[in-house]
Structure 1
Amino acid sequence: MRRNTNRQRSDYNFLNSMEGKVITVYRGGPESKTGRLADIKSDYIALQVDNKIIYYQWKHVKSVTEDTNNTLSPAEAIECEEADDFHELIRQMISRTVQLNQGGPESKKGRLHEAGDDFLVLETEDDGIVYFNTDHIKSVSAENTEDDEADEPADYEMADDFHGIFKSMTHKWVSINRGGPEAVEGILVDNSEGHYTLVKDKEVLRIHPFHIKSISAGSKGAAKQDEEQNEKESAEEKSEEVSHTSSKRTGTSSRSSRSSRSSRSSRSHQSSKRSKEDSYNYGKVLRTVDYRWKRGRK
């Protein structure tokens, strides 16, 4: 315990000398960012990159390099979140859209619904509700202040810890980890001898809890597929309605055309009749003969 305290004090003194300066966190990879060291806390640091603050969980940071050339153009300072530790920082971001990790297979963006002691609940576009192990989160950043409260409430599990989340998903098809070689899917059977057991086809997989970074119900990408399917069905229904409306309009137009032709034919017949009558009425009388019948002799 004393060793950890001494290490934290040493790390704080080391970082304190670079506060406000331009540094590069990580020397490469998706988490590598260059910006101004804005704040230093007990187990995380705040890095301002352009107009965004990225909070790195300090135990995952492999290297910090000070930019002595300071060629980065200065940006207006942004106020950081105030929290005693990384867990409290995440709790302050509930109901906001956040970016977990800056890259890699476990990088996800979505709305943060809850934060337990060792896990958090994130609603994503592709996988729906995903439960992340807080210990494996390398960085987090808030995308905006707050989401629209009019959105429908999400349906998710809550438990005392990450193990409780797994217990609530027993005998369900789950996806463990978002990507990479350790990402697996299958039916979660139970927790025996300190390992979680998944069954997929004829395979039986046993996974140590320490290596589980995230878990979600169903197959990966299921939420996105369901949304696309719903949009497709909705588009087909609209297309059928338009086709039906067009068909009704065509029928009405056809009847109107027939009625118009019938009306024109009737008018033509009447016109022809009047024409004949007119030819009779306007005929020229050449001579009138008055016949007188003679009576026979008696």
Structure 2
Amino acid sequence: MKRNTNRHRSDDNFLHAMEGKVITVYRGGPESKTGRLADIQSDYIALQVDNKIVYYQWKHVKSVTENTSETVSPAESAECEKADDFQELIERMANRTVQLNQGGPESKKGKLHETGDDFLVLETEDDGIVYFNIDHVKSISAEQEDEDEQEDERTEFEMADDFHGIFKRLIHKWVSINRGGPEAVEGILVDNSDGHYTLVKDKEVLRIHPLHIKSISAGAKGAAKKEENKDENQGEKECAEEESHEEQHTSSEKSKRSSKEDRSSKRDEDESYSYATVLRTIDYRWKRGRK
């Protein structure tokens, strides 16, 4: 698939005039950040915010404001990833922990496993594997890697050439479409007919146009977190039962030892006072004197 990397020349001139300066991307909202314009590529820009680089997909940037009171960022320059376009940039971040979008319902942090022609595979803590439509990703940033962190076992996930192929692999499964907001839905994915994907939930039949689908995952939203909590609770329950069993066993052993000690103490006591054992009883009868 050939990527569209064309941009109006006026946009290039407009941005290059501010390169190296402090700007604010978006005037408000969760994606709004202020930092140094560190790099400009065909369809994305790199903004240095403190010591972190946030990459914005240019077509989603609604406004850019130059801060005329400052010309340099107070932080030291951070190294930018170099790529021809936003798609290639994401590919270069594979196997790293990334933040997708800076806020809002589609903001997610997780490990980036793989990319297709128009989607990426992100492993998240609460939803497990989530497939994101790259076209809807507003920004991405790489998190600092922990050198002591060991490589986990590779998580299984579906793979296809494009986002449509992922949907085909999830047919007849319970899925969650879009992470939040009014367009977030769950249900059984039935098929793609007349250009719309169909979900069935209880007595409702929902049809969603592919252009409005930002992300999809198998299972209910938050299922991975619930399963993790369930495993933790089960582990805590088993641990508590084991501790209770140990306490009962210890208590029983103490009771046995106490009983043996009592019997032993009594035996020792009897032996200590054996010299006082009565051998025979003499009944003395006093005779009255004669008057």
Calculate the TM-score normalised by the size of structure 2: 0.91
Q: Which residue of 2 aligns with 1:283?
A: none
Equivalent residue, structure 1, for 2:90: 90
**C-alpha contact 2:133 2:213 (8 A) present in aligned 1:** yes
The residue number in structure 2 matching 1:216 is 217
**Residue aligned with 1:53, SS:** strand
Shift of 1:82: 1.0
The answer as to whether partners of 1:19 and 1:38 remain within 8 angstroms in 2 is yes
The CA deviation at 1:274 is 3.1
Q: Which one-letter code corresponds to 1:176 in the other structure?
A: I
Q: Deviations over 1:123-142 (max 9, x none)?
A: 01111100000000000000
Contact 1:96 1:146 in 2 (8 A): no
Distance, in Å, in 2 between the alignment partners of 1:65 and 1:86 is 22
Residues 95 and 146, structure 1, Cα contact 8 Å, conserved in 2: no
Rounded Cα–Cα distance in structure 1 between residues aligned with 2:16 and 2:72: 20
Aligned residues: 274
- Once the 2 structures are TM-superposed, how far is the Cα of residue 232 of structure 1 from its aligned partner? 0.2
Which whole-Å CA distance do the structure 2 matches of 1:16 and 1:88 have between them?
A: 21
1:55 deviates by 0.2
Question: Is contact 2:100-2:141 (8 Å) kept?
Answer: yes
Deviation at 1:155, TM superposition (A): 1.1
Distance 1:215 1:108 in 2: 13
Distance in 2 of aligned mates of 1:52 and 1:101: 14
Amino acid at match of 2:108: K
Cα distance in 1 for partners of 2:112, 2:270 equals 79
**Conserved? CA contact 2:24–2:66, under 8 Å:** yes
Name the counterpart of 2:256.
255
Task: Give the partner amino acid of 2:57.
Answer: Q
Instruction: Give the stretch that moved more between structures: 110-119 or 148-157.
Output: 148-157
Residue 131 of structure 2: aligned partner: 131
Counterpart of 1:115 in structure 2: which amino acid?
Answer: T
- Return the index of the structure with the highest Cα Rg: 1
Q: Which residue of 2 aligns with 1:79?
A: 79
State the SS of the aligned residue for 2:221. coil
Letter in 2 for 1:196: Y
Q: Measure how far apart 1:176 and its partner are.
A: 0.4
Q: Any stretches of 5+ residues in structure 1 without a counterpart?
A: 278-298
Question: Counterpart of 1:77 in structure 2: which amino acid?
Answer: S
Match of 1:175 in 2: 176
Could you say what secondary structure the match of 2:75 adopts?
Answer: coil
Task: Provide the aligned C-alpha RMSD in A.
Answer: 1.7
Cα pair distance change 1:5/1:186, threshold 3 Å: closer
Return the alpha-carbon distance in structure 2 between the equivalents of residues 250 and 208 of structure 1: 66
Deviation per residue, 1:187-223 (Å, 9 max, x gap)? 1110011110111111111111000000000110111
Relative to the length of structure 1, the TM-score reads: 0.88
CA distance in 1, matches of 2:51, 2:16: 22
1:238 corresponds to which residue? 239
Where 1:80 maps in the other structure, the secondary structure is coil
- 1:101-148 deviation line (CA, Å, top 9, x unaligned): 000000000000001110000001111100000000000000124784
Q: How far is the alpha carbon of 1:149 from its aligned partner?
A: 5.0
Query: Residue 8 of structure 1: CA displacement?
Result: 3.0
Give deviations 1:162-190, integer Å, cap 9, x for gaps. 00000001111110000001111111110
Match of 2:201 in 1: 200
Partner of 2:56: 56
Separation in 2, partners of 1:196, 1:132? 16
Counterpart code for 1:96: R
